[in-house]
Chain A
Amino acid sequence: MAVRVQEADFDLSAEINAFRAGRPEIGAVAAFVGLVRDVNLGSTVSGLTLEHYPAMTQKALLGIVAEAEQRWEIIDALVIHRVGRLQPMDQIVLVAVASAHRGEAFHACEFIMDYLKTQAPFWKQEQTPEGARWVEAKESDNGAAARWENLLTTNKHE
Chain B
Amino acid sequence: MSVTVLYFARLREALGVAQELIALPAHPANVAGLLDQLRARGGEWQTALASTQPYRVAVNQDMAEITTPLHDGDEVAIFPPVTGG
- Across the interface, which residues of B come within 8 angstroms of A34, CB to CB? 85
- Our pick among A56, A93, A113, A122 for the contact of B83 (Cβ within 8 Å) is A122
Residues in chain A near residue B63, CB distance under 8 A: 60, 119
Verify if B23 is at the interface (C-beta below 8 Å from A): no
Tell me the smallest distance from the CB of A30 to a CB of chain B, in Å: 16
Partner-contacting stretch, out of A9-17, A47-55, A66-74, A97-105: A47-55
- CB-based contact A122/B77 at 8 Å: no
Say yes or no: A53-B79 contact (C-beta < 8 A), given A121-B8, A121-B58, A134-B10. Answer: yes
B48 vs chain A, min Cβ distance (A): 13
Measured CA separation A52–B62 after assembly (Å): 14
Chain A residues within an 8 Å CB radius of B85? 34, 81, 92-93, 113, 116-117, 120, 122
| Residues of A contacting B: mostly | mixed
Contact A120 B82 (CB under 8 A): yes
Choose among B8, B54, B58, B62 the residue that contacts A123 (Cβ–Cβ < 8 A).
Answer: B8
Contact of A56 among B77, B80, B81 (CB under 8 A): B77
Give the chain A neighbours of B81 by CB distance below 8 A. 118, 136-137
Number of contacting residues on A, CB 8 A? 27
Shortest B44–chain A CB gap in Å is: 15
Instruction: Given A123-B79, A125-B9, answer yes or no on A137-B84 (Cβ-Cβ < 8 Å).
Output: no
Q: Are A56 and B9 in contact (CB under 8 A)?
A: no
Q: In the complex, what distance in Å separates the CA atom of A56 from the CA atom of B58? A: 9
Contact B82 A56 (CB under 8 A): no
Residues of B within 8 A of A (CB): 6, 8-10, 54, 58, 61-63, 75, 77, 79-85
Q: A55-B75, A93-B85, A122-B82 are known; give 5 further A-B pairs, CB within 8 A.
A: A51-B8, A53-B79, A56-B62, A118-B82, A134-B9
| In the A-B complex, the 3 residue pairs with the closest CB atoms | A122-B84, A137-B81, A123-B9
